[in-house]
């Protein structure tokens, strides 16, 4: 069996009395698109900086492709492409020149064809010769992806890659991540606080808060855990609300308006509620169950707060 | 890897406008001084030797390329360090300010390699600036005014013949490189300590100004601290123009400057290797 792409064990990072990462433990298998979720300040970027050897852990171990980061730093970094936080470049150089210099430091091909290939992948082919100081934040973000892909790494670490991108850019980024995983067999470690991004791209994920993993698993399993958010559209929402409140499900009311009633229900409870409302003569225009990571994420991180 | 990293650093250094400020300043200033000397240099020398007129008779070609190169050297010697700090002070801190440490240090090169590459790029810039100063001063001076003997008036009057000067200038410029490398090393160390590029430039300039002023004030108390100041040893180039050359004074100064260079370089290494990259 292949070595895990990333193994983090008992990882701590302390700054004086403040603990940014608090005994983090996670495993990312090769080929995974792994969502690394957490609210702002949860310790995501600190963890990524430790994975990229930008900061030293206070204790714990990080193994990448079976190699210890401390002992085999160079061999490991040869196999990783990363964006760490903001996409900052040498603003006085062109996009192509930035890639050439960074490519040389990675010991990779920096021919015009090679830089054209990655610039084309991120939609910056036409701006290859423009100085980076003329780029928007979104364009720098794209260039960040280009530099991460330049040396064809096996593991791609993306820290909030859609920040600053317009909706088209976000869709392009999502498609690119899926393509890299499916067609190029890359392992993707995707840090984000944008949950739909992870729902739509990742197969496994971890949610961290206050530097600790709260829950880890397959995205689909986590989506199927807990209650569904069921939106019932009806012209008589007030009466429906009163009826539900009179039953043991009354405590599961999430919210209501004049035309909608939102309940947090187990799958088996949906038909009970629908039957009860129908029998009471309430017209049901639509019943929409939604299993969202967002609610799950918020509930978990609130509990941890 | 060190060679690749060095080439990358050189590309970055010479892609920045501020790198050329030093060369531009020398390229403007030295021709102006040479032109001024060509036109009215005789008056300058008359004034400079006026106090000795009653004791000595000055004959020969006082205004010549060597004399002008000597004047330029002694005038610019304490100003060129300011040009050097513009580049050397920014070389590490500039990466922190721009946030590009994250790009460089996530590549498969060690921090030690990065520091070495940046340091050697800084020394290369320093070397080129000294070479530029030498070529312009001697080239333009000799080209426009020819060669001749040089009168040096310090504690004693030394007259150096034209055929006895070129090797002394060679040593003096080599010393200038050593002195400027010391300034570069101090700026490099300051650059490793902070994450704002302006800080190391201002700090190094301030150190040079303070040390130079204290060295110049002739108070017995300062006699004890003066030998500790690298600016004091930077001035030992003058001993190459004594006859005979004062190797007894040059040797200790050489050691002092080398100790400063090695100390700053090693300290910068330790700081960068232990640094958490948070920018």
Mean pLDDT of A30-53: 92
Q: Please report residues of A whose CB lies closer than 8 A to that of B102.
A: 52, 54, 84-85, 88
Kindly report the average pLDDT of chain A as a whole number: 88
Strand order in the sheet with A59-64: A18-28, A6-15, A59-64, A67-68
Beta partners for A103?
A: none
A78 vs B: CB within 8 A: yes
Question: In Å, how far are A102, A114, A118, A261, B114 from A99, measured between CA atoms?
Answer: 5, 10, 9, 54, 18
- Say whether pLDDT at A292 is over 70: no
Question: Do residue A105 and residue B277 have CB atoms under 8 angstroms apart?
Answer: no
* Interface residue A163 vs chain B (CB under 8 A): no
Distance CA A50, CA A58 (A): 10
Kindly report the backbone phi and psi dihedral angles of residue A10, in degrees, each rounded to the nearest multiple of 5, phi listed first. 50, 50
Confidence bin at A114 (pLDDT 50/70/90): confident
Average pLDDT over residues A38-49: 90
Count of residues making up chain A? 305
Is residue B278 within 8 angstroms of chain A, CB to CB? yes
pTM of the model: 0.85
Decide: residue A302, CB within 10 A, 0-12 exposed, 13-18 middle, 19+ buried: exposed
**What secondary structure does DSSP assign to A268-302, as a single string?**
HHHHHHHHHHHHTT---SEEEEE--HHHHHHHHHH
Q: What does the alpha-carbon distance between residue A169 and residue A123 come to, in Å, rounded to a whole number?
A: 9
Vertex A54, ends B15 and B114: CA angle to 5°? 40
Identify the closest residue of chain B to A53 by CA–CA distance.
B106
pLDDT digits over A58-91, tens only?
A: 999 999 999 999 999 999 999 999 999 888 999 9
A108/B contact by beta carbon, under 8 A: no
In chain B, whose CA is at the least distance from the CA of A145?
B103
Listed as ranges, residues in chain B with pLDDT below 50 are: none
A275-288 residue pLDDT tens? 999 999 999 999 98
Going by pLDDT thresholds of 50, 70 and 90, the confidence category of residue A205 is very high
Residue B2 to residue A287: CA distance in whole angstroms: 65
Q: Is the pLDDT of residue A305 over 60?
A: no
Beta A67-68 vs A204-209: how paired, if at all?
unpaired
Give the gap in angstroms from C-alpha B102 to the nearest C-alpha of chain A.
Answer: 7
Q: From the candidates B102, B105, B113, B276, which should be mutated to test the interface with A, based on the most A CB atoms within 10 A?
A: B102
Answer whether B278's CB lies under 8 Å from A46's CB.
no
Sign, Cα dihedral of A20, A24, A28, A33: negative
Burial class from Cβ neighbours inside 10 Å (0-12, 13-18, 19+) for residue B148 reads: middle
Structure tokens, A291: 């299993």
Which residue has better confidence, A66 or A305?
A66
Q: What is the pLDDT of residue A180?
A: 87
Using CA coordinates, name the residue in chain B closest to A51. B106
Q: Tell me the HSE value of A134 on the side-chain side, using a 13 A CA sphere.
A: 9
Mean pLDDT, range A138-155, rounded to an integer? 91
| Cross-chain Cβ contact A77/B4 below 8 Å | no
What is the C-alpha end-to-end distance of chain B, expressed in Å?
25
User: Are A105 and B278 in contact (CB < 8 Å)?
Assistant: no
Low-confidence winner among A224-233, A247-256, B227-236 (lowest mean pLDDT): A224-233
């Amino acid at each position: 069996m292949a070595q895990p792409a990333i193994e983090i064990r008992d990882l701590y990072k302390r700054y004086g009395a403040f603990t940014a990462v608090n005994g983090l433990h996670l495993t990312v298998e090769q080929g995974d698109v792994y969502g690394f979720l957490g609210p702002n300040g949860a310790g995501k970027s600190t963890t990524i900086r430790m994975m990229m050897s930008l900061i030293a852990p206070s204790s714990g171990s990080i193994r990448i492709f079976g190699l210890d980061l401390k002992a085999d730093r160079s061999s490991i970094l040869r196999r990783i492409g990363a964006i760490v936080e903001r996409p900052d470049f040498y603003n006085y150089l062109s996009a192509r020149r930035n890639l050439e210099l960074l490519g040389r430091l990675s010991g990779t091909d920096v021919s015009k064809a090679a830089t054209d290939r990655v610039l084309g992948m991120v939609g910056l082919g036409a701006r290859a010769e423009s100085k980076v100081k003329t780029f928007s934040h979104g364009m720098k973000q794209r260039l960040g992806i280009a530099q991460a892909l330049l040396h064809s790494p096996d593991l791609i670490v993306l820290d909030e890659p859609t920040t600053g991108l317009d909706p088209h850019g976000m869709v392009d980024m999502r498609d690119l991540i899926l393509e890299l995983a499916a067609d190029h067999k890359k392992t993707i470690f995707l840090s984000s606080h944008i949950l739909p991004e992870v729902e739509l791209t990742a197969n496994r994920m971890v949610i961290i808060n206050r530097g600790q993993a709260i829950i880890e698993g397959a995205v689909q399993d986590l989506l199927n855990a807990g209650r569904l958010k069921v939106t019932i559209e009806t012209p008589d929402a007030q009466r429906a609300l009163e009826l539900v409140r009179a039953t043991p499900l009354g405590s599961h009311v999430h919210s209501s308006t004049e035309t909608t009633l939102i309940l947090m229900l187990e799958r088996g409870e949906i038909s009970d509620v629908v039957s009860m409302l129908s029998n009471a003569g309430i017209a049901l225009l639509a019943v929409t169950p939604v299993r969202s990571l967002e609610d799950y994420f918020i509930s978990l991180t609130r509990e941890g707060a | 890897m060190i060679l690749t990293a060095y080439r990358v650093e050189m590309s970055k250094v010479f892609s920045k406008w501020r790198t050329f400020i030093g060369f531009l300043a020398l390229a403007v200033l030295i021709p102006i001084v040479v032109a001024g000397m060509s036109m009215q240099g005789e008056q300058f020398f008359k004034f400079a030797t006026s106090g000795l007129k009653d004791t000595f008779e000055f004959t020969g070609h006082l205004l010549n390329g060597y004399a002008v190169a000597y004047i330029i050297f002694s005038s610019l010697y304490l100003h060129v360090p300011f040009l050097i700090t513009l580049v050397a002070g920014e070389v590490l801190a500039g990466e922190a300010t721009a946030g590009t440490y994250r790009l460089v240090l996530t590549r498969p090169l060690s921090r030690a390699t990065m520091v070495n590459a940046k340091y050697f790029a800084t020394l290369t810039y320093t070397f080129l600036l000294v070479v530029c100063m030498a070529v312009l001063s001697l080239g333009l001076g000799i080209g426009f005014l020819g060669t001749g003997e040089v009168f040096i008036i310090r504690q004693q009057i030394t007259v150096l013949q034209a055929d006895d000067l070129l090797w002394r200038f060679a040593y003096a410029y080599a010393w200038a490189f050593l002195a400027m490398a010391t300034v570069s090393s101090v700026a490099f160390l300051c650059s490793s300590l902070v994450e704002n590029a302006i800080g190391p430039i201002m700090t190094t300039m301030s150190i040079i100004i303070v040390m130079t002023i204290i060295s110049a004030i002739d108070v017995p108390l300062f006699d004890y601290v003066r030998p500790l100041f690298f600016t004091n040893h930077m001035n030992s180039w003058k001993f190459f123009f004594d006859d005979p050359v004062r190797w007894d004074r040059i040797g200790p100064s050489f050691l002092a400057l080398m100790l400063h260079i090695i100390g700053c370089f090693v300290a910068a290494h330790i700081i960068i290797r232990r640094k958490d990259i948070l920018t």
